[in-house]
Amino acid sequence: MRQRWHNFRKAFAERIRYRVTRAGLWFLLALAGTGVGAVVLANNLLFLVVAAMLATLLVSGLLSRLSLAGLEIDFVAPERVSACRAFPGRMRVRNVKWWMPSFSIGVEGIRSPGGAQLQSAVYFPLIPAGATIEKIVAVRFPRRGAYRQSGFAFSTSFPFGFLRKTVHVTLRREALVYPPLDPQPGFDRMLPSIAGEMEAYYRGLGRDFYRIRPYEALESARYVDWKATAHTGVLQVREFAREPERTVEMFLDRDVPPAFDAWFEQAVHACAYLAWQLSAQGASVHFRSNGYSLRQPEEGDIYAILRYLALVYPLRSPTVEGPLEDSTYRLAFTASPARLRQAGWMEARIFSPDELPAPSSSGSSFPAVSSDWA
């Protein structure tokens, strides 16, 4: 029974919190002074004033509690969200009371380590009985992963502003957050370097002359070969071999020692950033990682790769797969470069902790599999 009573008190204390405002502090001082004066002077009028002030406090607490009662919240994040960037989300607050509106309601996210944060609090001056009000708010997720619950707080100082009462609510709704797609420190030099290497790697492979053939209707005149036309007396055009598709084979080695957990997180961010940018530039990305393989766009879009990177974590793997295609430009992220070179990645651009150092302030930050949204 004692344990049950302790759990009940703890749950009640966590759910409803009270904070005396500055106006409430002055009111309490005035109440105390009036009470002392009534006792010292034995004045019935002062006793009536004290009773009226106590009744005001009771009415204030009752009305604020009724204003907070019967409120429901729903928060819908965007379908595709990346970490470290503010995104607009829809917040819906519903007053299920059929007879009384709610006045002066504030809604804010409960901040927790690693949890998402609302960029600003939301204020509703009036929520009519039985009505639902929707507002667009900005939310920011500090890290990648699956967020399965969110904490919010309703607060009000209605009607007199003497006491601010707060009620905590928990909303269970899952959101998958991709790794950051904005350039992290050091990434601004990585992408131009890779783009230059790809240009040099595929240089000369496209626009190769294939043959001269007769002109066909509606073809552009820019490809007409006038020398061949003058020689044959019939319009002839130059035909070129189709430019080969630029494919990037990207490999993420999940076999990372515990001491390199922070670096692994940085490598995941780099993979997501490069895959996103190279895909936007028209390159085909073949992403692989210790048993996982996906060709974009043949087998899925870029978001399929980002979904995998949102939840990936280090995993011991005794073997490493070698490259599948010899004609592609290759990138590899690993904490053991020698291990990858032995597997056949000699010609790949390998990013190790020496070439891709982890941020000095970064710690172990694995995917948030059950984090609070706010």
CB-based burial label for 325 (10 Å; 0-12, 13-18, 19+): exposed
Q: Indicate whether 68 belongs to any domain.
A: yes
Is residue 9 located within the same domain as residue 120?
A: yes
Is residue 221 located within the same domain as residue 312?
A: no
Is residue 230 located within the same domain as residue 319?
A: no
- For the chain, the domain total comes to 3
CB-based burial label for 18 (10 Å; 0-12, 13-18, 19+): exposed
Is residue 283 located within the same domain as residue 172?
A: no
Is residue 8 located within the same domain as residue 38?
A: yes
Is residue 230 located within the same domain as residue 291?
A: no
Model pLDDT, residue 297: 86
List the structure tokens of 351.
Answer: 């990013």
Q: Indicate whether 2 belongs to any domain.
A: yes
Is residue 214 located within the same domain as residue 156?
A: no
Is residue 163 located within the same domain as residue 214?
A: no
Model pLDDT, residue 362: 47
Is residue 224 located within the same domain as residue 255?
A: no
pLDDT along the chain (374 residues), means of 10: 60 67 91 92 90 91 88 85 87 90 88 71 90 89 83 88 86 85 79 80 58 78 82 82 71 90 91 91 89 88 93 86 83 90 87 82 55 54
CB-based burial label for 359 (10 Å; 0-12, 13-18, 19+): middle
Is residue 165 located within the same domain as residue 292?
A: no
Q: Indicate whether 216 belongs to any domain.
A: yes
Domain holding 351, by residue range, is 197-202+245-358
Model pLDDT, residue 105: 92
Q: Indicate whether 192 belongs to any domain.
A: no
Is residue 176 located within the same domain as residue 52?
A: yes
C-alpha distances (whole Å) from 289 to each of 108, 250, 305, 323 are 40, 8, 11, 11
The one-letter code for the residue type at 198 is M
Q: Indicate whether 176 belongs to any domain.
A: yes
- pTM of the full structure: 0.73
Q: Indicate whether 371 belongs to any domain.
A: no
Q: Indicate whether 189 belongs to any domain.
A: no
- Rounded to 10 deg, the angle between the 187-201 and 261-280 helix axes is 50
Q: Are 305 and 284 in contact (CB under 8 A)?
A: no
Q: Indicate whether 215 belongs to any domain.
A: yes
Model pLDDT, residue 363: 47
d(CA 177, CA 368): 9
Is residue 174 located within the same domain as residue 297?
A: no
